[in-house]
Amino acid sequence: MSRFHKPSKVAALSGLSFQQLLLLAFLLIAGLLGASSLRAIFTLEQLMVQSRRGAAEAIQLNTSAQQLSARSQTLERAARQSLVLADAQLRRRFDEGAREALDILLRLESNGLPHEQAAQWRTHLAAVSELVDGPSALSLENERSVAAMFLEIDGLNAVIAQEVQDINTRRSNTLQDKIEASRREVTHQVVGVIVLALALALLLGIWLARPFKRLESAIRLLGENDFAQPVDIAGPVDIRRVGQQLEWLRVRLLELDSDKARFLRHVSHELKTPLASMREGVALLQDGVTGELSAGQREVVNILHQNTLLLQSEIEALLSFNAAAFEARQLRRTPTDLLALLEAQVEAQRLQWQARKLDVVVEGKPAVLQLDAEKMASAVGNLLSNAIRFSPPGGTIRIVLSHLADRIRVDFIDQGPGVDENDRSRIFEPFYRGVRQPEDAARGTGIGLSIVQEYLSAHGGRVELITNGSNTPFRIELPHAA
């Protein structure tokens, strides 16, 4: 039995571009706000219709109550004149007025007038009709009874008019309550939709920004020459395309880095053989194997000898840097006390700093980290050697280990001239030598600080030059959990 799986919504969204997703997000939020606005407009329109209808009904009730009172007066005149004059025309006018009054009363009753009051009014009108239809011999007596009856009808009209006012007041209050309830409902709805739209915008913003953070992280790793992690960016189709291009770039940079390392090894080894021959030939000339040299010839031979030694040191430095860059990617971490490692390096270079009559002080508390002890010792040794090289005779070198919230910091502080401002941006470049070189020291190779940077980056830390007035101490920082 085969099963068909529908593509998930996330996969469907991932098939869209960032621009399409952004437009979809805007449309979705606009749709929510638009639907809320339309609902509010519809509710407002309903309330307006009900308000107009209520006002019309109130006017109609008041008008009907006034008409009923006016018809009562007309009926009284017609009834009394009909009894006194015994005129058939006046009797018909009374009957017509009675029908109109009953219609008005029915209209009032249908609009909320209590049945008891309407029935009482009809009873009085029926009594008046019986008196009007009475024998002519009793006309004068019936006329007085009709007048008394209409006094009661006038009182009942006043009661009906008051009841109409009460009905209108109750309907107005009911409408006001309904308007207030609708206002609260619309307010809650609008606020809810706004909160939902903001939450949706925040979630969509976070979801859409996440691929860019991955891109930023991937670009940062490539910029730090960390090619170990493949670039795999999930998200919109155009962002994934950029991720694929970065992955291609990573592979290409990895190949170029490998080619560079292979090239350096080959060139270095190829240069060592003719260099050895040159050194041997210069040594033979210096020893006078080919004959006694004149003063000028010996001077030239000495120059050749010095330059072959310099060239040999440059080639060895090139090989050392290449080896350090390769080994930095292969760490053997073990729990290591960084303070003990610093003290061990100070002791290892005791002859160098004592020869320059320096004092070297290590400050701080023990800090056990997961480190490659050999490579970290090499980095610390290079920084200490650099401080010894540039410190004035009789000066002091301070190595300060500090515990911070999320990292360990080590500052190498000497009393040397510091790094020239023009050299600070390039101080960690391989084979770069600064302007300020000590006069009484041998010429450096320019790779020590580069090796320090390689080893610190491999440990997840960093090395930087701190500008502090005339001094420019070096600082290394390592995370607690490597």
> What DSSP character marks residue 330?
S
**What angle do the packed helices 115-132 and 18-85 form, to 10 degrees?**
20
Residue 79: closest CA among 125, 13, 30: 125
Alpha-carbon distances of 449 from 257, 271, 333, 426, 445, rounded to whole Å:
20, 25, 22, 10, 10
Residues 71, 65: Cα–Cα separation, whole Å: 10
**pLDDT tens digit string along 3-14?**
444 445 555 555
**pLDDT tens digit string along 323-344?**
655 555 667 888 999 999 999 9
Residues 216, 59: Cα–Cα separation, whole Å: 72
**pLDDT tens digit string along 41-71?**
887 888 788 788 878 878 888 888 888 788 8
Predicted structure pTM score: 0.43
3-state SS of 108-144 is HHHCCCCHHHHHHHHHHHHHHHHHHCCCHHHHHHHHH
Residue 380: closest CA among 297, 317, 451: 451
Task: Name the amino acid, one letter, at 411.
Answer: D
pLDDT at 436 over 60: no
Sign of CA dihedral 307, 310, 316, 319: negative
Residues 29, 197: Cα–Cα separation, whole Å: 6
Residues 130, 312: Cα–Cα separation, whole Å: 144
**pLDDT tens digit string along 206-224?**
777 777 788 788 787 777 6
**pLDDT tens digit string along 229-288?**
787 777 677 777 877 888 888 888 778 777 776 776 676 666 667 767 777 777 777 777
User: Which pairs count as long-range contacts for 209-213, CB under 8 Å and 24+ apart, including other chains?
Assistant: 210/235, 211/235, 211/236, 211/239, 211/243, 212/239
Q: Return the pLDDT at 324.
A: 58
pLDDT at 405 over 80: yes
* Secondary structure of residue 293 in the 3-state scheme: coil
pLDDT band of residue 439 (cuts 50, 70, 90) is low
Quote the tokens at residue 70.
């006016």
Number of H helices, E strands in the chain: 11, 7
Q: Return the pLDDT at 5.
A: 44
